[in-house]
Structure 1
Amino acid sequence: MLVAGCAGGGDDENGGAADERPSFDPDEDERVDTALIQPTTDNPTNWQYNIYNPSQEFGHEMNNDQFVWYHMERDEFTWRLIDIAEYEDDHALVDLADDRYWHSDGENVDAEDLRTKLILEDIMSGDLGAVFEDVSISGDHQVEMDLAGTINPEVFDTSWTNMWLDTRADQYDQFVERWEDGESIDDIRPDLENYELDEIEGHGPFEAVNVTDNLFEMELVEDHPDADQINFTRWEIHRVGSDTGEVLMGNEVDTIRNFTAEDAVLDNRPDDLTVGHLPAMWGMALPFNLDHEHVGNVRVRQALAEFIDREGVASSYGPYGEAVEAPSGLVGNIDGENNPSDAWTDWITDEGADALHRYDDVERGRDLLREEGYSRDDEQWYTPDDEEFELTITMPADTTDWHPVYQTVEGQLRQEGINADVEAVDDTVYWSDYYLDGDYDLASTGWTLQNSYPYFTFRMYYIIDAQYLNLDTDDVVAPPIGEPDGDLESVDVVGLLEELQTTQDEAESVELIEEIAWVTNQYLPMLPLTEINDTVWFWEDEWWVPDPVEESETYQSKWPLWQFPRTGNLRAR
Structure 2
Amino acid sequence: MLGASALAGCSGTSGGDDGGSGSDGSSNGDDTESGDGSSGSQVYDTTMVSATNNGVPANMHLNPIATQNYDDIVGAHVFERFVAYNFETQEFEMVGLEDWSVDGETFTLTIREDLNWDNGEPVTAQDLVTQFRLEEKTSGAIWDFAESVEAGEDDKTVVFELEEETNPLLLKHAIGSQSDRIYAYSPVYEEYLDQDAAEVQQFAWEEDVVGNGSFSFESKSEQAWTLTRNEEYYNADNVNFTELQILQRADNSALQQGMRGGELDAMSSMFAPPNIANSMPDHVQEINTPAKWGYGIVFNHEHEHFGKQNVRQAIAHVVNRENVAQNAGPRTKAVPDAVTAIAVDDQERWLGDDMDRFETYGPSASQTDAAAELLRDAGYTKTDGVWEDENGESISAQYATPSGWTDWTTATNTVVDQLNAFGFDFEIDSKPISDFYGGYIEGNFGVGAFYWLPGGARSSFPFYPLRWEMLCPDIDGGHAFPTGEKTIPAMDGSGEMTINPLEEIREITSMTSDDEATDVIRRVAWHHNQTLPFVAVTEKQEQTWISGQNFNTPEEDNPNLGIKWASQWLPRVGEFTASGN
Q: TM-score normalized by structure 1? A: 0.88
Residue 491 of structure 2 corresponds to residue 498 of structure 1:
no
1:36 Cα deviation (Å)? 0.9
SS in 2 for 1:354: helix
1:176 Cα deviation (Å)? 3.1
Distance 1:298 1:52 in 2: 36
SS in 2 for 1:470: coil
SS in 1 for 2:123: coil
The aligned runs of 1:127-526 (5 Å cut-off) are 127-138=141-152, 139-162=154-177, 163-173=180-190, 175-177=192-194, 188=196, 192-199=200-207, 200-242=209-251, 243=253, 244-318=255-329, 319-333=331-345, 343-350=346-353, 352-360=354-362, 361-431=367-437, 433-449=438-454, 450=456, 451=458, 452-465=460-473, 467-474=477-484, 478-483=488-493, 491-526=499-534
RMSD: 2.5
Residue 66 of structure 2 corresponds to residue 56 of structure 1:
no
**Are the equivalent residues in 2 in contact too, given 1:6–1:552 (CA < 8 A)?**
no
**Are the equivalent residues in 2 in contact too, given 1:53–1:194 (CA < 8 A)?**
yes
Distance 2:391 2:301 in 1: 19
Which amino acid in 1 is paired with 2:321? R
Specify whether residues 309 and 441 from structure 1 end up closer, same or farther in structure 2 by C-alpha distance, changes over 3 A only.
same
Distance 1:204 1:438 in 2: 37
The residue aligned with 2:130 is: 116
Residue 551 of structure 2 corresponds to residue 543 of structure 1:
yes
Distance 1:521 1:174 in 2: 46
Q: TM-score normalized by structure 2? A: 0.87
**Are the equivalent residues in 2 in contact too, given 1:55–1:429 (CA < 8 A)?**
no
Q: C-alpha offsets along residues 176-221 of structure 1, whole Å, 9 cap, x if unaligned?
A: 335xxxxxxxxx5555544443434422121111111112100011
Distance 1:18 1:40 in 2: 26
Specify whether residues 85 and 303 from structure 1 end up closer, same or farther in structure 2 by C-alpha distance, changes over 3 A only.
closer
1:75 Cα deviation (Å)? 2.3
Distance 2:318 2:174 in 1: 36
Specify whether residues 46 and 19 from structure 1 end up closer, same or farther in structure 2 by C-alpha distance, changes over 3 A only.
closer
Distance 1:262 1:20 in 2: 24
Q: C-alpha offsets along residues 379-420 of structure 1, whole Å, 9 cap, x if unaligned?
A: 211133212221222122122232111111111111111111
**Are the equivalent residues in 2 in contact too, given 1:308–1:413 (CA < 8 A)?**
yes
Distance 1:376 1:482 in 2: 33
**Are the equivalent residues in 1 in contact too, given 2:313–2:371 (CA < 8 A)?**
yes
Q: C-alpha offsets along residues 268-305 of structure 1, whole Å, 9 cap, x if unaligned?
A: 22211111111112211111111222111222111111
Which amino acid in 1 is paired with 2:315? L
1:148 Cα deviation (Å)? 2.5
Specify whether residues 565 and 18 from structure 1 end up closer, same or farther in structure 2 by C-alpha distance, changes over 3 A only.
closer
Distance 1:150 1:502 in 2: 6
The residue aligned with 1:555 is: 561
Distance 1:502 1:237 in 2: 43
**Are the equivalent residues in 1 in contact too, given 2:10–2:553 (CA < 8 A)?**
no
Distance 2:188 2:232 in 1: 24
Distance 1:374 1:190 in 2: 45
Specify whether residues 480 and 124 from structure 1 end up closer, same or farther in structure 2 by C-alpha distance, changes over 3 A only.
farther
Which amino acid in 2 is paired with 1:117? Q
Q: C-alpha offsets along residues 395-448 of structure 1, whole Å, 9 cap, x if unaligned?
A: 2212223211111111111111111122111123322x1233332222333222
Q: C-alpha offsets along residues 229-267 of structure 1, whole Å, 9 cap, x if unaligned?
A: 111011111123522322222222111111120233123
Specify whether residues 469 and 72 from structure 1 end up closer, same or farther in structure 2 by C-alpha distance, changes over 3 A only.
same
Residue 35 of structure 2 corresponds to residue 30 of structure 1:
no
Residue 136 of structure 2 corresponds to residue 126 of structure 1:
no
**Count of paired positions:** 541
1:307 Cα deviation (Å)? 1.0
Q: C-alpha offsets along residues 504-538 of structure 1, whole Å, 9 cap, x if unaligned?
A: 24322111111111111112111111111111111
The residue aligned with 1:14 is: 7
**Are the equivalent residues in 1 in contact too, given 2:117–2:232 (CA < 8 A)?**
no
| Structure 1 stretches lacking a partner, 5+ long | 8-12, 179-187, 334-342
Distance 2:482 2:204 in 1: 30
| Structure 2 stretches lacking a partner, 5+ long | 15-28
Which amino acid in 2 is paired with 1:440? F
The residue aligned with 2:3 is: 5
Specify whether residues 125 and 241 from structure 1 end up closer, same or farther in structure 2 by C-alpha distance, changes over 3 A only.
closer
Specify whether residues 150 and 62 from structure 1 end up closer, same or farther in structure 2 by C-alpha distance, changes over 3 A only.
same
The aligned runs of 1:527-542 (5 Å cut-off) are 527-542=535-550
Distance 2:559 2:76 in 1: 21
Distance 1:523 1:454 in 2: 17
Which amino acid in 2 is paired with 1:34? T
SS in 2 for 1:349: helix
Identity of aligned residues (%): 23
Distance 1:565 1:14 in 2: 21
Distance 2:564 2:514 in 1: 26
The range that moved more, 509-518 or 291-300, is: 291-300
Q: C-alpha offsets along residues 148-190 of structure 1, whole Å, 9 cap, x if unaligned?
A: 2111122122222221112333444455335xxxxxxxxx555
